Amino acid sequence: MPPPNPLPPAGDLKATWKFLQVGIEVMMQQVLEGMEYKDYMNLYTAVYNYCISSRMNTSGGGSLGSGVKAGANLMGAELYDHLKVYFKEHSLQAAQRAAELTDEALLRYYAAEWTRYTRGANFVHHVFSYLNRYWVKREKDEGRRHVYTVYTIALVQWRDHMFKQIQSKERLSDAVLKQIQKQRNGETIDTSLVKRVVDSFVSLGLDENDTTQQNVEIYRYEFETSFIASTEVYYKTESDAFVAANSVTDYMRKAETRLKEEEDRVELYLHPSTRSKLIARCDSVLIRGHSQLLWDGFENLLETDKGDDLYRMYTLLFRITEGLEPLRKRFEEYVKKKGAAAVENIVGTDAEAMEPAAYVEALLAVHAKYLTVVNNSFRGEAGFLASLDKACRVYMNKNKATGESTSKSPELLAKHTDGLLKKSNKSAEEAGLEEALNQVMVVFKYIEDKDVFQKFYSKMLAKRLVNFASASDDAEASMISKLKETCGFEYTNKLQRMFTDVGLSKELNDNYKEQVSKQYDKSEANIDFYSLVLANGFWPLTAPASEFSIPTELLPTYTRFERYYGAKHSGRKLTWLWQLGRADLSTTYLSQKHIFTTSIYQTAVLLQYNSADSLSYTELQTSTRLNDASLKGALGALVKTKVLNKVEGDAGGDGADKYEINDKAKFKKLRVNLNMPVKSEQKAETSDVMKTVDEDRKLLLQATIVRIMKARKTLKHAQLIQECVSQVSSRFQPSVPTIKKAIEALIEKEYLERVEGARDVLQYLA
């Protein structure tokens, strides 16, 4: 029903309120279809007229006096009080009608009333906008905190007389919680209904100091606290029952689903501020409460390669602060175990017979598999990468193949690298070789004794270069570049110098051949001779361990090169490393012509058979002047390949043994390599390398200690040891006793001294 006409007299409170009340009732009951725009404007005008009526009376005749300040004499308190009473009575009536309602019926009634009430209050608020803008503002400016705008006073009355009455025994919040539990149990509920009720909790939170702002204290106190508590009880009961009857994998899926549902619940009908509390409580119940179960099931998932379930476990445990660290430790131990098992599978009964390539591939296979697990299932998380690194550092350095030695892995890795870079590597395609070298560097990163690798690699590189056995100069350069990038310039300085010497030697030999072709006849000039002149101190090579008599067939070439080099570089002396030389010998005594590739010592032995078919050990030793070790090594390979036949002497002893040329020998290939390494020689070589490593380590430790003490002047013994370990750990892991020996050696050499009166303090002596 529209408000009555005409407008009430300005300043008549009773008539004005009677006029306004009819319109307010229409707006609050949501029957606006019968209210026309002019009726709405009449309501607004009635409020306006009443508010300014005192000003009109003071200025006479209804006109504004020029001496009256605008807004100075406004009436409004009485209207405000009437509105307050109206909203109170309206709220009380609504509360009375809800007295017997419970659960969903209560929610539906409350939501409908709340919607109607707030919409109506909003219309009333606009009708009284003049009161809001002037009278309410003035009152608030004068410090009256409990004066509100019309819409706010409507909310205050609803809160104090409708909401609090219904919620006095938590009827409303309990009804909401029951709906939420139904939804958790799989039943369909009206989420929009729950949202409207929950939103009312938020809307009723009013900041007493600033009514333009809302707080969520009512929401928290009347709903959120009990909601969080009921959530904990619900999920504790459900999860305990589910775990008792299902597998870890099934539980993780269940927990994942439940957590997603709670995330969605916040979006559907809860206040955003609830998110962190709700999720933290769910995490505590669903994950922390069953974390031991998850940790215990971790290894089984690794064993069965359940990548998706591993990721699920990772994402769940990631949500709690202490969740991942036990997984990281278990992952580390698991990878250690798998790495050790992989090596054990290929070692068999004879660790010495194990192929270096098989060893390295076993190490890499474990690393690659679990790196994939880290990247895919754990999203490359830094903690799991660190656990993988720790595990690899253990099983790659100490396993069944290495025993307690930390030098065996670098030796095997160096041998594997040597095999990759040799011409004999049939799979040495450029792209494949580069990838294989990258894989070598993966293992190299975890090797503790990098100085051992350097020594073996240097020795093997020297052999490849001396024997022209490298598969690719580019691959050699690439490998050195990788080592330099990892360990620095000093680590690869000598390796790079080797290549420089090879290049200089090529230039030297080209010039030598050109000169020989000019000075000698064609038969002499056509002798295929090539020498590598290597700088002393950069190559891991030693002088021959035996005397050697140069065969007459080789003597002219030897003499010519000596004269040439002496003339070109006066003052330099050549030391011939006969044990490293090799030659190609053409045969004429067999039915088919063959070419034997031999060492120089083997060459010297075989050339003796140009004048005899059978020679004793003593005769061969006299003619070659080789010691027993060198001569037996040369003869052993020749007998093994059946080039020579050995006849035991009657008198006993090696000197009486006879060695006959085998003119019935048959070979499948025209070119036959007789220069095969002997196992005893390889073992001796390994021993020599390790002796060199030990000596270098002593010198490096002493140099490091001196460098530290020179900078610090005085230092405690324990601190010196700690700094020394820190500085040399990139090359090898020194033991404390070894460092102590180095310190004692420096004290004896008077580089250091102990400070009198100061316990365990060392001083540098300049």
In a domain, 638, yes or no: yes
**DSSP string for residues in 247-278:** -HHHHHHHHHHHHHHHHHHHHHHS-TTHHHHH
| E-only strand ranges, 124-256 | none
* 609/735 same-domain check: no
For residue 430, the model assigns a pLDDT of 65
Domain stop point among 676, 695, 729: 676
pLDDT, average across residues 554-566: 88
* 119/214 same-domain check: yes
Q: Which of 528-537, 679-688, 710-719 has the lowest mean pLDDT?
A: 679-688
For residue 436, the model assigns a pLDDT of 92
Radius of gyration of the chain (CA): 49
In a domain, 278, yes or no: no
Give the whole-angstrom CA distance, residue 81 versus residue 595.
123
The label of the residue with tokens 């025993």 reads: 403
More confident of the two residues 555 and 521? 555
Domain stop point among 205, 228, 251: 228
Give the whole-angstrom CA distance, residue 548 versus residue 529.
19
pLDDT tens track for 244-282: 999 999 999 999 999 999 999 999 999 999 999 999 999
Q: Which amino acid belongs to residue 222? A: E
pLDDT tens track for 387-421: 999 999 999 999 999 888 888 999 999 999 999 99
pLDDT tens track for 106-132: 999 999 999 999 999 999 999 999 998
Bridge-based pairing of strands 595-599 and 671-673 is parallel
Give the whole-angstrom CA distance, residue 449 versus residue 411.
10
What is the distance of C-alpha 334 from the center of its chain?
Answer: 18
Q: In this structure, what CATH number is given to the domain that contains residue 100?
A: 1.20.1310.10
* 218/95 same-domain check: yes
Q: At a CB cut-off of 8 Å and minimum separation 6, what does 97 contact? A: 109
- Whether 730 has a pLDDT exceeding 60, the answer reads yes
For residue 705, the model assigns a pLDDT of 87
CB 709, CB 752: distance < 8 Å: yes
* 145/224 same-domain check: yes
**DSSP string for residues in 389-442:** HHHHHHHTTSSTTTTT-SSHHHHHHHHHHHHHHBTT-TT--HHHHHHHHHHHHH
- Whether 133 has a pLDDT exceeding 60, the answer reads yes
More confident of the two residues 428 and 699? 699
The band of 70, judged by pLDDT with boundaries at 50, 70 and 90, is very low
For residue 683, the model assigns a pLDDT of 62
* 665/698 same-domain check: no
CB 616, CB 657: distance < 8 Å: yes
Domain extent for 732: 681-764
* 664/716 same-domain check: no
For residue 652, the model assigns a pLDDT of 59
* 48/119 same-domain check: yes
In a domain, 619, yes or no: yes
* 81/198 same-domain check: yes
Q: Which of 317-331, 472-486, 669-683 has the lowest mean pLDDT?
A: 669-683
In a domain, 617, yes or no: yes
* 23/147 same-domain check: yes
Give the whole-angstrom CA distance, residue 669 versus residue 681.
26
Domain stop point among 650, 676, 702: 676
In a domain, 568, yes or no: no
Count of domains observed in the chain: 3
* 648/755 same-domain check: no
Q: In this structure, what CATH number is given to the domain that contains residue 585?
A: 3.30.230.130
- Whether 2 has a pLDDT exceeding 60, the answer reads no
Strand partners, 599: 582
* 608/700 same-domain check: no
pLDDT, average across residues 542-565: 89
The band of 236, judged by pLDDT with boundaries at 50, 70 and 90, is very high
pLDDT tens track for 172-224: 999 999 999 999 999 999 999 999 999 999 999 876 665 556 688 999 999 99
User: Helix, strand or coil for residue 597?
Assistant: strand
- Whether 59 has a pLDDT exceeding 50, the answer reads no
For residue 68, the model assigns a pLDDT of 31
- Whether 305 has a pLDDT exceeding 80, the answer reads yes
Buried b (16+ CB within 10 A) or exposed e, 620-652: bbebbebeeebbbbbbbbbeebebbbeeeeeee
Give the whole-angstrom CA distance, residue 731 versus residue 693.
11
* 45/148 same-domain check: yes
In a domain, 398, yes or no: no
In a domain, 360, yes or no: no
pLDDT tens track for 73-91: 567 889 999 999 999 999 9
Give the whole-angstrom CA distance, residue 53 versus residue 60.
11
